[in-house]
Amino acid sequence: MPKGSREKLNIGELKTLLPYLARYRWHYIEGFICLVTVDAAQMIIPQFMRRAVDLIAQGGFQWSVMIALCGGMVGVMAIISLGRFLWRYFIHGASRRIETEMRQELFGHLLTLSYDFYQGNKIGDLMARATNDLNAVRMSIGMGLVALVDGTVMATSILILIFLEDARTAAFAVLPLPLITVLILFFGAALGKRFQKAQEAYSAMSDTVQETFAGIRVIKSFVKEWWFIKKFADTNDDYRKANMALVQLYGIFFPFISFLSGLTSLILLLVGGIRVVEGFMSPGDLVALFRYLQMLIWPLMGAGFMVNMIQRGAVSLGRVNEVMKTKPTIASPEKPLSADDTERAKGIEIRHLDFAYPGGNKVLEDINLVIHRGTTLGILGRTGSGKSTLIKTLTRMVDPPPGRVFVQGIDVRDWDLGELRGLFGVTPQDSYLFSDSIKNNIGYGMENSSTPLARDEALLRKAAGLSAIDRDLESFSQGWDTLIGERGLTLSGGQKQRVAISRAVIRNTELLILDDALSAVDAETEKRVLTGLLEARQEKTTIIVSHRVSTLRNADLVLVLDKGRIAEYGSPQELLAQEGFYARMAALQQLVQGEAGGGDV
């Protein structure tokens, strides 16, 4: 996210919470009724104390009256205890539910965003928004609202009561209150800004942790643990400093509020004591006023908490809303089209395709290509020649210009995204695997697969056979159920690729794309995999991207790309006869394999 967009603190962000608050309005209404009931009950306690003190001061002590007063206080305290339980249940329960819904919606929205969004935003920062920031939002609509309502009701009620008791004494006692209000407003804005910096420091620290653990293999290979320890120490220290800046402000704010609150008690002692001596107030009245002023400290402190939590919530909600307001750059059209049986036979057609990434030069230039249904197409080219970009345009992982790429006779931009991508089984270059069992990683390719092995073990085993991963199952400690670690950490490169191939072929889709999916596989295994796949997919379209000519020798047609343009196109035999890039690569790879004692390419 652009840093500049986060510099301005906007309480207006809290407006986006209104639909959630409306949905749980009865929880809040019931909670606030219980909260106000507790406040009203607390107002009664000093009156019991006033009567008891006056009875003692006047020499009219009676056990029956004192027991009745104590019994009344116990009853009121029971109401306070029950009311506190209920307002916590209703208000905190609602805030927890809202937090859960918001996290679910944020996660769902993140899944709709296009690939370029994740290229420009770090995972650690997104994790911080989904956890730390939403926790701050929950606090603002939970304890923040409690502090707002409770403080308003308590402060108003107490001020009314103490002025009714003795207006002159109350007027002197509340003199410091306007200063407290000014301090709350001043410190509130500063707290919000410092909290924003603390949240951004937390995001940076999360980024470092995520990046370190994701690249642990590389870190250990290069013996760079010390460098990442230092990097984490730096970000961790930045987070500490940001929080210490926040704590330092707390350290000034809350003690000063307490000092001013205590000052009201001192004024009351002086003025109220004189009034008692002069006979304008009873000792019980003074004790009650002391108790009310002590109760007034919480609303004053609560105002500080309220400002702090709402400022935090506004900052955090702004960070969350930045993500929620981001629109996917690639989305389904309002009225998507679908192919009929006649159009399905048309396969894939590309017409004069030019493509460039934002701010870059052309990656593809004037690509014209027709791939009929049932064709196996091989794509060859140097690194950076545009091979992966070309196949990404087919599934709209990147968006081609309109009227350039057609699948089954329909422009890819006119397809529903889910339906378009459902036509393809794709094995990408990185062969990403989930931290789960081999069985579930393969079954992930099945539609609505929650317990794939239990539902169709035969289909899973067929997919495993096509990728030749089945022959490795016995070497795994728990066979199908072996956990492979995050990103397939416990598997070799070839095993990861073959599991990914199984995941792609299990759905038996109309179109299959293997993007350099056999680069880590030996020649014998590669031959077995390709032979099985092409035999099983004789009536369907397969696209194989590879740097190895041996991978493409059984393709019907081979496309050679050079600097984003079509350099050669034809059958493997035709390209061998042309003595171009394909022929040179075939000769070179055959020479290398021959020197290594291998067979034909």
What's the pLDDT tens digit per position in 187-206? 766 776 787 788 788 878 88
Which tens digits make up the pLDDT trace of 68-77?
888 888 999 9
Q: Which fold has domain 95-324?
A: ABC transporter transmembrane region fold (1.20.1560)
Mean pLDDT of 35-39: 92
32: pLDDT strictly greater than 90: yes
Q: Do domains 339-423+510-522+540-601 and 427-508 have the same CATH topology?
A: yes
Q: What percent of the chain has pLDDT over 90?
A: 23
What CA–CA distance (Å, rounded) separates 527 from 518? 10
Q: Where are the domains of the chain?
A: 95-324, 339-423+510-522+540-601, 427-508
Taking each helix axis from N to C end, the angle separating 93-112 and 134-141, rounded to the nearest 10 degrees, works out to 150
How far lies 426's CA from each of 129, 224, 304, 534, 543, in Å? 31, 34, 55, 15, 10
- For the range 117-123, what are the long-range contacts, defined as Cβ-Cβ under 8 Å and sequence gap of 24 or more? 117/326, 117/328, 117/329, 121/1, 122/203, 122/207, 122/210, 122/211, 123/207, 123/210
Q: What's the gap between Cα 177 and its chain centre? A: 42
> Can you list the alpha helix ranges (DSSP code H) found in 13-133?
18-23, 25-57, 63-87, 93-112, 115-120, 123-128
Task: Give which of 366, 393, 390 is closest to 380, Cα–Cα.
Answer: 390
- Does the structure show a pLDDT above 60 at 1? no
pLDDT per residue as tens digits for the range 407-463: 988 999 999 988 898 889 888 887 788 878 888 888 877 765 444 444 577 888 888
Helix, strand, or coil here: 571?
A: coil
- pLDDT: which is higher, 369 or 147: 369
Which residues 6+ apart lie within 8 Å of 362 measured at CB?
354, 355, 356, 564
Q: Is the pLDDT of residue 145 over 80?
A: yes
pLDDT of res. 345: 61
Residue 9 has pLDDT above 80, yes or no: no
Q: Which residues, other chains included, contact 403 with Cβ-Cβ below 8 Å and sequence gap of 6+?
A: 351, 411
* Rounded average pLDDT over 372-395: 91
pLDDT band at 65, cuts 50/70/90? confident
46 pLDDT tier (thresholds 50, 70, 90)? confident
Per-residue model confidence (pLDDT) at position 301: 66
Q: What is the pLDDT of residues 491-539, one digit of tens each?
A: 888 888 888 898 888 888 889 999 888 888 888 888 888 888 888 888 8
Cβ atoms of 473 and 460 within 8 Å: the answer is no
pLDDT score of 2: 43
Please say if the pLDDT value at position 180 is more than 80. Answer: no
Which CATH architecture is the domain 339-423+510-522+540-601 placed in?
3-Layer(aba) Sandwich (3.40)
Residue 30 pLDDT greater than 90, yes or no: yes
Please determine, for residue 184, whether its predicted confidence score (pLDDT) is greater than 80.
no
Helix, strand or coil for residue 456?
coil
- Distance of alpha carbon 357 from alpha carbon 496, whole angstroms: 29
What pLDDT score does 591 carry? 67
pTM above 0.85, yes or no: no
Sequence letter at residue 62: Q
Structure tokens, 468: 């030749």
By three-state DSSP, how is residue 279 classified? coil
| Opening angle at CA 404, ends 574 and 511, nearest 5 | 60
Find the Cα–Cα–Cα–Cα dihedral 569, 414, 510, 522, rounded to 10°: 50
Mean pLDDT of the residues in the chain: 83
Q: Which of 32-36, 268-272, 371-375, 446-450 has the lowest mean pLDDT?
A: 446-450
**For position 560, what pLDDT does the model report?**
93
Gyration radius (Cα) of the chain, Å: 36
Residues 6+ apart with CB under 8 A from 99: 134, 135, 137, 138
pLDDT given for residue 594 in this prediction: 57
Mean pLDDT check: name the lowest of 93-97, 100-104, 225-229, 588-592: 588-592
Q: Does domain 427-508 have CATH number 3.40.50.300?
A: yes
Q: How far apart are CA 409 and CA 274, in angstroms?
A: 96
Over residues 557-575, mean pLDDT: 92
Mean pLDDT, rounded, for 43-47: 86
Is beta strand 376-381 parallel, antiparallel or unpaired with respect to 557-562? parallel
